[in-house]
Amino acid sequence: MDLLYQTHSPYARKVLVFAHEAGLAGRLRVIHHETSPTNRNDAVFAVNPLGKVPVLVLEDSEAIFDSVVICDYLNTLAGQRQLIPADGPRRWVALRMQAIAQGLCEAGIALRWETTRRPEHLRYPPLAEGMTTKLVESYDYLERDGVLDEPLHIGHIAIATALDWLAFRKLPDFETGRPRLSKWYRAFLQRPSMQATVYDGETHD
């Protein structure tokens, strides 16, 4: 299977870390593609009408996207190493954590548009403030209520890759004043799956 990837995408990294943890990384051919809303990549559009990575292209050429759906698909191949609980309270905890992680990435991307990527005269400071609030509130939630010490599941992977992307992009700090979250994050960074998928590169708009 081909994984259309981007070395600085938190969504793509979540998929690849998931594949490593599920024992499926060896079945993927990872192909880097640069994409952005202002920089069309025809090869990606050919398999995803949204023009975004990650995209998983199966052996029969069927394309699966986005990261949530790809992880769900990979989970069906993982055998005893499934990382998305099938039912019960743990399933909803895992999916809620993944939703928080998706929101962290979305808020972080929007914040970057309003602080570094959009021409300065087009930036809207109230939107940047609103996105910062979403990040800070989510950090506090994870410190206070995040179920970080459960056995590994998709929620942990999603949170770890989102937080590491926020750190990579030097977005609002999540470690200061949050010892529980910081300790968990630093420990998760040492996992082989994270060490094998370090962020690299810049967005080309």
pLDDT of residue 145: 87
Long-range contacts of 129-136 (CB under 8 A, 24+ apart): 131/107, 132/107, 132/172, 134/103, 134/104, 134/107, 135/104, 135/107, 135/108, 135/111, 135/166, 135/171, 135/172, 135/174, 136/172
Decide: 16 and 73 in contact? Cβ < 8 Å: no
pLDDT at 108 over 90: yes
- Does residue 149 or residue 91 have the better pLDDT? 91
Query: For the chain, which domains are there?
Result: 2-81 (3.40.30.10), 89-195 (1.20.1050.10)
Burial class (CB in 10 A: 0-12, 13-18, 19+), 179: exposed
- Reading phi first (left if > 0) and then psi (alpha if -120 to 50, else beta), residue 5 is in beta
Please write the tens of the pLDDT for every residue from 12-56. Answer: 999 999 999 999 999 999 999 999 999 899 999 999 999 999 999
Decide: 160 and 17 in contact? Cβ < 8 Å: yes
pLDDT at 4 over 90: yes
Please write the tens of the pLDDT for every residue from 125-137. Answer: 999 999 999 999 9
pLDDT at 80 over 80: yes
pLDDT of residue 58: 98
How much of the chain exceeds pLDDT 90, in percent?
Answer: 95
pLDDT of residue 42: 97
How confident is the model over 193-201, as a mean pLDDT? 97
DSSP string, 17-57: HHHHHTT-GGG-EEEE---BTTB--HHHHTT-TT--S-EEE
Q: What's the chain's average pLDDT?
A: 97
Please write the tens of the pLDDT for every residue from 152-182. Answer: 999 999 999 999 999 999 999 999 999 999 9
pLDDT of residue 204: 85
| pLDDT-derived band at 205, boundaries 50, 70, 90 | confident
